[in-house]
Chains A and B, each alone.
Chain A
Amino acid sequence: MKGHEQIISAGIDIGTSTTKLILSRFTLVNTAGTTQVPRIEITNKEIMYKSSIYRTPLINDTLIDMKAVLKLVEQEYQKAGVRPQDIQTGAIIITGETATKQNAEEMLHLLSEKAGEFLVATAGPDLEGIIAGKGSGAQQRSKEMGKTIANIDIGGGTANIAVYQAGQLCGTCTLHIGGRLIEFENDKVKHVSAPVRRLLKQLGLSVKAGDQAAFEFICPVTKAMARILGNTLKQQLTEEEKVLLLGHPPDWKVPIDQIMFSGGVSECMYGQESSSGPYMDIGVYLAKALQDDPDLRSWEWIPPAETVRATVLGAGTQTTHISGATIQVDPVRLPLKNLPVHQLDMKRNLEDGSNKVMNAIQQAIQVYDPSLEGKNFALYVTGLPFLRFRDVQQLGKWLLEGYKLQPHPSNPIVIVLQDDLAKVLGQTLQAMQSDRDVICIDQILVEQGDYLDIGNKLQSEVVPVVIKTLAFHS
């Protein structure tokens, strides 16, 4: 019933080569009619501030310079005129090779603590691709045009592919293809990364530290990378070519209509960077090889809305969801961070519900708190049939019975519902017992194995929610 509310969201991307930050202002409006139960939506996202692109501060090959990163973020906040406590939502993503550093996880959680009220730590090659595909505009375009678009975000360390069809994610894939996989110093090769060394061996080539950094030596490598990318998009990877695969093979099941490139290397392709310039690596050669590859050229190329900032833009503007407006939460318990999601599918009926609930909670404890240390989880209840009041009471009883299995009653009961039922279920759980706090939110789509962060309650009575993965690839 209030007019509207504004919150500030931050996005921070700590990548293989570069680190950048973005601040945006979200407008939340009740879009339901006056005779309806409120429905709060983000109606506008305005970019307030874009930082410069910084080289990611490293201490050595295996450690991120955490102090320098923190200082960098502080400086940028100052320039933008915001304080960490003004940041009400957003995400930090640690991407590419940086995610393999020894202190990557520590870095991420430290920054998430220090740089905002509710700033979510995220990592994982699939998530990088998904977020970049949203930041580059590929997802939006596929939705508008009804086409299948693959967004290929190529940074320093990895190429993250996300395929969207009519706005829906169809699959992802990550490859060891990036500008910084071979580094130069004074026209000589300084470093060749491990996956590229494996590729070189396969191709029968030799590029090693100290070699001349000449185009003719590098060209066969970047050409091979372009070929492998093309075959990945067509899902025709040979066994040998899988040498560059990071994680699972491509998993989309639809042919791709159009492709879009984002990330630092795409900056070179769209002419913003002309020489290997400040980065001293194969980025420019790679860009050229991609542009010349006949296979890749056979698709229609769509210029991205954002190139090097696609991931940070996605992290800052596309990761926050808003819960339903009728929810039941205990404000002192918020924010809640890094909760693993366990799904309880009721399969559209309440038959045998007691067992279904009990089994799900038992499983969740086994998986996420095997040594019973009190690690909490979010129970995601889906497939509920139409519930009468007595059904809600019944469900509440089953849940409380199940939650007795949890060894630490000081943890709140966290329940996420797909359907609009959080308020009544939350109230029911509270009416039935007063020992445990209840956080019950709804109208959020998550999946088994996702992680969930729930932010502070906003004036509009909703909570911001970020759904993410936390996978540090090695």
Chain B
Amino acid sequence: MNTELIESITKLIIEKIGKPSEEKLASESGMVKLWDHLSPENQYIVTGSDSHDGAQNSNGLVKLWDHVKADESKSAGYKEENTILPELETRIGVSSPCHPEALQEWVTKTPARIGIGRAGLRPKIETWLRFRLDHGAAVDAVYGSVQQELLKSLNLFTVRTMVDQKEEYIRRPDLGRKLSEEAKRTIREKCQYKPKVQIIASDGLSSQAIEKNLEDVYLSFLQSLDQLGIEYGTSFYIEKGRVASMDEVGEILEPEVVVLFIGERPGLVSSESLSAYLCYKPRKGTIEADRMVISNIHSGGIPPVEAGAYLGSVVQKILKYQASGVSLVRKEG
């Protein structure tokens, strides 16, 4: 697949007439906001590519006109200046619910698509667009790649696994667990040998997870390690890596604990969820039960900054008991 094409398609910019400045906001956050198409104001949804020529936005755009007339609008209740509707997940889509309070409570309790209403037998347009958008975002997250600037700003150098193409990465999990010969050499050259804690990052199945969360979780984690007085080695980034790639790193650098930040398989709720895998002395042949994970690190799950702060105490516990995963639970008693 052509990743660039996908990238540009997903960058849906939604803009209100006469408010071109909003464009900046939408593209900055990277998340696509859908405008209230029921609002009395005449809005339309603009989709298009801005990745290369953001200025040229009046041509070649798809325009979806507001299909509901202002006087039929039911959304008079939304008086906020900013007419962006709250996220679908926090809003009732059923037109005239029997028990709005109860439904509202359920809807806010889960990010699943409940209480979305329907139009005849079909989902409503907004729900349907949102579904396709989320699906698109998930696909993108898998095929996308991580910006070099981000890694540079965090002082992470990049090494690769035995995988070449993303298609191969998906078909051959085994190759994603092994480092290339060059990678092994680079790691040996650049990294501190036998650190207490070795930190690695990898895109895994979601480059978005790294883009959105790595900086916050990583810096916050370093701060918590500093505060606990736990020293750490030279961190780096593995492109197209799998969780067990930490075993090879363990063989080379022999750290006590490896912490691997890796993108989770994206779903329709979030395509940018990050996991932190931790393992005490991972080596070739480490069994999965000895790994542990803190998952769901993203803006809609555990906030990345808080996850980082918490991970320090998990590492402290692993060092104290010299075990991780099921072995740690056993030792803790």
Q: Which of A328-371 contact B (CB under 8 A)?
A: 328
B293 within 8 A of A: yes
Closest to A420 in B: B306
A421 touches B332 (CB 8 A): no
B226 touches A423 (CB 8 A): no
A1 touches B226 (CB 8 A): no
Provide the bound-state CA to CA distance between A1 and B320, in Å.
15
Tier of interface size on chain A? 20 to 34
Provide the bound-state CA to CA distance between A420 and B299, in Å.
11
Chain B contacts for A427, CB-based, 8 A: 220, 223-224, 227, 309, 312
Knowing A427-B224, A427-B227, A427-B309, the reply to whether A387 touches B303 (Cβ < 8 A) is: yes
User: Beta-carbon contacts of A301-314 to B below 8 Å, as 1s and 0s?
Assistant: 00000000000000
Query: In the complex, how many angstroms separate the beta carbon of A112 from the nearest chain B beta carbon?
Result: 32
Total residues of chain B contacting the partner, CB 8 A? 32
Provide the bound-state CA to CA distance between A431 and B226, in Å.
9
A2 within 8 A of B: yes
Provide the bound-state CA to CA distance between A165 and B102, in Å.
11
Knowing A166-B102, A389-B219, A427-B227, the reply to whether A37 touches B310 (Cβ < 8 A) is: yes
Closest to A2 in B: B332
Closest to A417 in B: B306
Provide the bound-state CA to CA distance between A166 and B306, in Å.
32
Q: Which of A27-54 contact B (CB under 8 A)?
A: 34-37
Chain B contacts for A166, CB-based, 8 A: 101-102, 105
B307 touches A430 (CB 8 A): no
Provide the bound-state CA to CA distance between A427 and B311, in Å.
12
Query: In the complex, how many angstroms separate the beta carbon of A173 from the nearest chain B beta carbon?
Result: 23
Provide the bound-state CA to CA distance between A37 and B328, in Å.
16
Knowing A35-B293, A35-B295, A146-B102, the reply to whether A428 touches B223 (Cβ < 8 A) is: yes
B305 touches A146 (CB 8 A): no
B307 touches A37 (CB 8 A): yes
A295 within 8 A of B: no
Query: In the complex, how many angstroms separate the beta carbon of B201 from the nearest chain A beta carbon?
Result: 15
Query: In the complex, how many angstroms separate the beta carbon of A125 from the nearest chain B beta carbon?
Result: 28
Provide the bound-state CA to CA distance between A326 and B307, in Å.
9
Provide the bound-state CA to CA distance between A407 and B35, in Å.
50
Chain A contact residues: helix, strand, loop or mixed: loop
Q: Which of B225-284 contact A (CB under 8 A)?
A: 226-227, 275
A392 within 8 A of B: yes
Chain B contacts for A392, CB-based, 8 A: 220, 305
Knowing A146-B102, A326-B310, the reply to whether A424 touches B226 (Cβ < 8 A) is: no
A67 within 8 A of B: no
Which among B227, B294, B312 is the interface contact of A36 at CB below 8 angstroms? B294
Knowing A146-B102, A389-B215, A428-B223, the reply to whether A419 touches B303 (Cβ < 8 A) is: yes
Chain A contacts for B308, CB-based, 8 A: 389, 424
Chain B contacts for A253, CB-based, 8 A: none
B294 touches A431 (CB 8 A): no
Query: In the complex, how many angstroms separate the beta carbon of B77 from the nearest chain A beta carbon?
Result: 17
User: Beta-carbon contacts of B154-166 to A below 8 Å, as 1s and 0s?
Assistant: 0000000000000
Provide the bound-state CA to CA distance between A166 and B105, in Å.
10
Chain A contacts for B219, CB-based, 8 A: 389
Chain B contacts for A326, CB-based, 8 A: 306, 309-310
Chain B contacts for A423, CB-based, 8 A: 224, 306, 309-310
Across the A-B interface, the 6 shortest Cβ-Cβ residue pairs: A424-B309, A423-B309, A389-B219, A424-B305, A389-B216, A35-B295
Other A-B pairs, 10, CB within 8 Å; known A420-B303, A424-B223: A37-B294, A37-B302, A37-B306, A146-B102, A326-B309, A419-B303, A423-B306, A424-B220, A427-B227, A431-B223
Interface residues of B (CB under 8 A from A): 99, 101-102, 105, 215-216, 219-220, 223-224, 226-227, 275, 292-296, 299, 302-310, 312, 328-329, 332
Interface residues of A (CB under 8 A from B): 1-2, 34-37, 146, 165-166, 326, 328, 386-389, 392, 419-424, 426-428, 430-431
